[in-house]
Structure formats: structure tokens, C-alpha cells
Amino acid sequence: MILANIERFSGFADVYDRYRPQPPRVLIEILTQLAEVERPRLVVDVGSGTGLSTMLWANDAREIIGIEPSADMRAQADARLAATNFKNIRFVPGSSIETKLPAARADIVTCSQSLHWMEPAPTFAESARILRAGGVFAAYDCDWPPTVNEPAERAYIDFIAGAEAIGHARGWYRGVQRSDKEGHLARMQASGKFRHVKEIVVHHAEPGDADRLIGIALSQGSVATLLKRGLSENEIGLPQFRARVERAVGHHALSFYFGYRVRLGII
């Protein structure tokens, strides 16, 4: 468990929960079919964050467990859960390499927007341990920024690049370890834990406006780190970014198209 990675996602769980998208529901259909069950007995969402991906399964699995090492993120997830009547979901502390769950019990293990922050080999080993034979592992990530329009996307890319340059120059990302997402599939194949591995692409749309795109940017750890360290909005260029996005998008709702790259492994 990489402590610097956990700290990177502490202190802004409310922003993360408010602006990030929920994964597309078609993933439920795909993963359930691949697992060859009508209704999964157990789905484990590893690196569950504020529960956006965990809650997706509320009506479609008998039991859902979110594993999350950040106390801030778990507290936000528990608050989200408390506002519902779901009794089949729980969030517990743990990591991708030590879930503390029984072996061979899960039908499906998911990692939503999280595998690149984990140690790959031990994560695959632990997922294989808790999955039953024929169970499915799925790691999925959406592309940033969502597809909106060219001026808005360019503003987003420029703002994130500027924020990351500041963070690197000040040494504030030191100790953070991140795998390249493009290498997920090859690492899964090399692990020897899966008998079948493939990649698919899915997408869905959610409504968004200027505030949402700005919020998505603020929910990125690279930006949140600067604000947690005490930099002002002016110092990170937020007013200029906000102005560009408001010109490009305005405050009327548009469709934000989120594309997801899904890496699948079957035990």
C-alpha cells in the first residue's frame, strides 16, 4: 500500500463525489454475462473511493463490498449510502493487496479509476485469490477530459498541465507512484493470474455545464494537492480557467460524453 497515493486523495472527497461521473450501467450487463451468473452473489469494488462505482450495483447484486484505504473517501461513501435504503452494500478499510476477504467467494472484482494507483502484481494476485473460478476482474478508467467541445477541452488540458508543472516544480508529488494506464492489459497478461484477458471500450453521457467541468478539474489529485498545500486559486490559474470554460460551455446543460477503457480478466 503506497501511503503517498492514499494521501493524494485525502481532503477533497466531497468535491470528488459531487463532480465525478458514475460508471455506465452497461458494465453491469457485460460483467454479469462474462461471470455467467444472473445475479452476482458478491461484487467487490477495490479502491471504491466515494462509492460512485460501488453503488452502481445496488439493485443488481446480492452483496457489494467497497474496499477503500482513505478514511475521507470512506466517510463520504458512508454518507452517500446513509441517504439510501440499500442494505446489501458496505464500505470497509483495506487495500488492493490486502482486502481481508475470504478466498474464492467473489463473482466480480472491479477497480474503477484506481488500478493505476495500485501495485499491479500483488493487486492481481489478491483479486485472483478472492474470485471464484470463472470470476471476472475488471479495471476501467474514463478518459479526461470528457468530450464536450474543443475550446472547453483545450482549457481543461492547459489548466491540468499548468497545475502539474507547479506541483512537480515544488516537489509536492514526491513519493506518489502511478502506473501508465496503457500498460494495464499487458501487465494483466504477464501476471499469469487470468486465463483470458481482453480490452473493450464503452461510453455514456451525463449532463454537464461549466461548473461541472471546473469541478472535475478540481477533483483531480494533481490540482487538489496544490490547494491543500495552501496555494490560492489565482496562483494555480483557476480564474483564467473558469473564464475560458464559461465562454466555451456557459451555464446551460450539455451532454458530457465519458469514454471508458475496460480491461477484463477471467480467472
Span 102-121, pLDDT tens digits: 999 999 999 999 999 999 99
What is the pLDDT, as a whole number, of residue 9?
A: 83
Nine-digit cell string for 99: 482486502
Mean pLDDT for the stretch of residues 83-100: 97
pLDDT above 90 (res 184): yes
- For the chain, which residues make up each domain, given as ranges? 3-266
Q: Residue 4 has what pLDDT?
A: 76
- Compute φ and ψ for 257, nearest 5 degrees: -95, 115
Q: Is it the case that residue 86 has pLDDT exceeding 90? A: yes
Q: Which CATH architecture has domain 3-266?
A: 3-Layer(aba) Sandwich (3.40)
pLDDT at 1: 58
Cell triple for residue 122?
500483488
Of the listed ranges 29-38, 42-51, 212-221, 248-257, the least confidently predicted one is 248-257
pTM over 0.75: yes
DSSP 55-98: GGGTTT-SEEEEE-S-HHHHHHHHHHHHTS---SEEEE--BTTB
- Asked whether the predicted pLDDT for residue 252 surpasses 90, the reply is no
Q: What is the pLDDT of residue 17?
A: 96
Write the CB contacts of 117 (distance below 8 Å, at least 6 apart in sequence): 2, 5, 8, 47, 177, 178, 179
Average pLDDT over residues 8-35: 95
pLDDT at 215 over 70: yes
% of the chain at pLDDT higher than 70: 100
Sign of the four-CA dihedral 181, 187, 189, 195? negative
Residues 46-68 have pLDDT tens digits of 999 999 999 999 999 999 999 99
Per-residue pLDDT reduced to its tens digit, 120-139 = 999 999 999 999 999 999 99
Q: Facing residues of 131 across strands?
A: 106
Calculate the alpha carbon distances from 144 to 162, 238, 256 in Å: 15, 18, 11
- What number is the average pLDDT over the span 17-25? 96
DSSP state of 17: H
